[in-house]
Amino acid sequence: MKIGILLKEGPYNHQASDTAFKFAEAAIKKGHTVDAVFLYNDGVTNVTKLMDPPQDDRNISARWSELSQKHGVEVLACIAASKRRGINDDVLVQGSAITGLGTLTDIAIRNDRLVTFGD
């Protein structure tokens, strides 16, 4: 099955990023394709490489970067939401990209499921 994920909340403030990541991992483990993680609202701040949490905490942007590179999951931040929040190509972690809402529409159409996480 092909699954798309829509993540609408920023990291750390809310558990949404963590649940989305755990869900993606489990889906991949079960043999599904996680086609893309689309970031909207404050969710776009999930992929800044300026993130530098304490060593004993998870690094959420690094985790998305790894998932993307290891499993070919596209991690995409909405351009309009990114511009509002100071996210641009210069700060993106490897494996992520900025794109338009048209891409989310494509993701919604081409996948069997779209699962939303957020606040």
Partner 1 sequence: MLHTINKSPFENSTFETCIRFLLPGDPILFIEDGVYAVQAGNRFSAIIANTLKNNPVFALQPDLTARGLTVVTEGVQCVDYEGFVGLVEEHQVNSWL
Partner 2 sequence: MENENVNKIMHVLRHAPHGTIYSYEGLEMILIMAAYEQDLSVVFIGDGVYALKKNQETAGIGIKGFAKTFMALDGYDVEKLYVDKLSLEERGLTEDDLVVDVEVLDAEVIGGLMREQDVIIHH
Should residue 15 be labelled a site residue for partner 2 when binding is judged by CB under 8 A? no
Q: Two tokens at 102?
A: 């048209």
Question: Among 34, 49, 51, 56, which residue's Cα sits nearest to residue 96?
Answer: 49
Q: Which of 24, 60, 76, 104 binds partner 2 (CB under 8 A)?
A: 104
Amino acid at 17: S
Stretch that binds partner 2, among 26-34, 46-54, 88-96, 103-111 (CB under 8 A): 103-111
> Which lies closer to partner 2 via its Cβ, residue 63 or residue 77?
77
Residue in 5, 20, 39, 78 annotated catalytic: 78
As a dihedral over the C-alpha atoms of residue 73, residue 104, residue 20, residue 11, rounded to 10 degrees, the angle is 100
Whether 82 is catalytic: no
- Which 20-59 residues touch partner 2, going by CB under 8 A? 40-41
Q: Which residues bind partner 1 (CB under 8 A)?
A: 1, 3, 8, 15-16, 19, 22-23, 25-27, 29-30, 32, 113-119
Query: Whose CA is closest to 73, among 85, 86, 83, 63?
Result: 63
Task: Tell me the backbone φ, ψ of residue 14, rounded to 5 degrees.
Answer: -135, 155
Which residues participate in catalysis according to the annotation? Answer: 78
